Amino acid sequence: MSFDFTLIAQDGDARLGRFETPHGLIETPVFAPVGTQATVKAMRPRDLVELGATLVLANTYHLYLRPGDKRVRDLGGLHRFMAWDGPILTDSGGFQVFSLSDTRRIDADGVTFKSHIDGSIHRFTPEKSIAVQENLGADIIMMFDECPPPNEYEYVRQSLARTHPWALRCLDAKTRADQALFGIVQGGVFRDLREQSARFMVELDLPGYAVGGLAVGETKAEMHAVLEWLNPVLPAGKPRYLMGVGAPEDLVNGVLRGIDIFDCVLPTRIARNGAAFVRGGRINLRNARYTDDPSPVDPTCDCYACSRFSRAYIRHLVKADEILASILLTTHNLHFLLRLMDDLRKAIRKGRVAEFAGEFFEAEAVD
């Protein structure tokens, strides 16, 4: 099973590529909507297809706990279970174990944690994470790692010493040829640790490399620096995935620094809080100023929500706690990011990504 990554064009550090997976081709740079519990919240698979989504993420930690990875396997795997025929990526469960579980204990072998659903005790090891991800059956699976506090040098150094052996154990545990196992580069905001982690992963000759441990409290300048340090270390011929990043400005900044794949709950989560991306920032439909506003959420947008409904109507739905508010705002926010990625791909192809980014940030500054 091939996971060929073809670079079609480069424009500065920005890359236009194609990644082959068993469930279809992914044009990169790409943004992956997140379907934590095997559903992108408020979206049907056919809506995602219509919006142009090509890659969807699902969370190993959540699906392991409910409905259970063996159940998903016995029901035909994640693609069939959630009726999404395109490529899927699962995370390793590591990040969720560290951030969602109220008690967890890390040792050299793995992590013991408490379910956020019923408080039951569970244990993830590198082998267990791979076994769960093989049961789920995504096209791209991730190494089990720890996501350390980014600014604590000594902690990050020790965490790398724990995580790198886990990478080898993940590789050993892997049995399915139809899944690509991506490595994860950690190292916080420290150049020596990031480069050390990247060199270790590159040595393993993996089908793709993720940058983990960002968007967790460091500054934007630190995030950008990390991406710039990694650029010359990571091989040009493999896809690069910036985990958990999805603000529009971060997508542009990431693409400018060589990132090919992004995922984030941001567009779907803020939608359920009444917020919408617009050129130059965000608006929140809870705001009383939209009560009588007959204009669409984003007058420049051609999504279903913006072509049929007013801000006044969507505000009414938000205030009245109607499901349609979440449906329409999720539709718009995903469309906004997927169109942004499409615009970025077109700009790279034309060799004008810097110009595109300049215009984008000018609009941002207006707000």
Contacts with a copy of itself by CB under 8 A lie at: 37-39, 41-46, 66-67, 71, 74-76, 81-83, 291-292, 294, 304, 308-310, 312-313, 316-317, 319-320, 322-324, 326-328
Cα–Cα distance measured from residue 322 to residue 89, given in angstroms and rounded to the nearest whole number: 31
Cα–Cα distance measured from residue 26 to residue 256, given in angstroms and rounded to the nearest whole number: 19
Q: Catalytic site residue 263?
A: yes
List 91, 145, 250, 260, catalytic entry: 91
The CA–CA distances, whole Å, from 102 to 119, 155, 164, 354 equal: 9, 20, 25, 43
Name residues whose C-beta falls within 8 Å of residue 174's C-beta, 6 or more positions apart in sequence.
Answer: 130, 134, 141, 181
Distance of CA 310 to the CA centre of its chain: 30
Give the residue with the Cβ less far from a copy of itself, 5 or 84: 84
Rg of the chain in Å (alpha carbons):
20
Of 140, 141, 180, 148, nearest to 164 by C-alpha is 148
Cα–Cα distance measured from residue 311 to residue 118, given in angstroms and rounded to the nearest whole number: 40
Q: Catalytic site residue 74?
A: no
Give the residue with the Cβ less far from a copy of itself, 272 or 345: 272
The DSSP code for 288 is G
H helices within 187-230, ranges in order? Answer: 191-203, 220-230
List 69, 139, 260, 263, catalytic entry: 263
Tell me the β-bridge partners of 111: 106, 124
- Please give the structure tokens belonging to residue 239: 């896809």
Name residues whose C-beta falls within 8 Å of residue 359's C-beta, 6 or more positions apart in sequence.
Answer: none
Give the residue with the Cβ less far from a copy of itself, 163 or 331: 331
For residue 164, the number of C-alpha atoms closer than 13 Å in the C-beta half-sphere is 19
Cα–Cα distance measured from residue 284 to residue 255, given in angstroms and rounded to the nearest whole number: 27
Q: How far is the CB of 323 from a copy of itself (least distance, A)?
A: 4
- Please give the structure tokens belonging to residue 116: 């956020």
- Sign (positive/negative) of CA torsion 175, 180, 183, 184? negative
- Please give the structure tokens belonging to residue 339: 């169109």
Of 244, 162, 217, 228, nearest to 194 by C-alpha is 228
Of 100, 28, 40, nearest to 64 by C-alpha is 100
Known catalytic residues are 91, 263
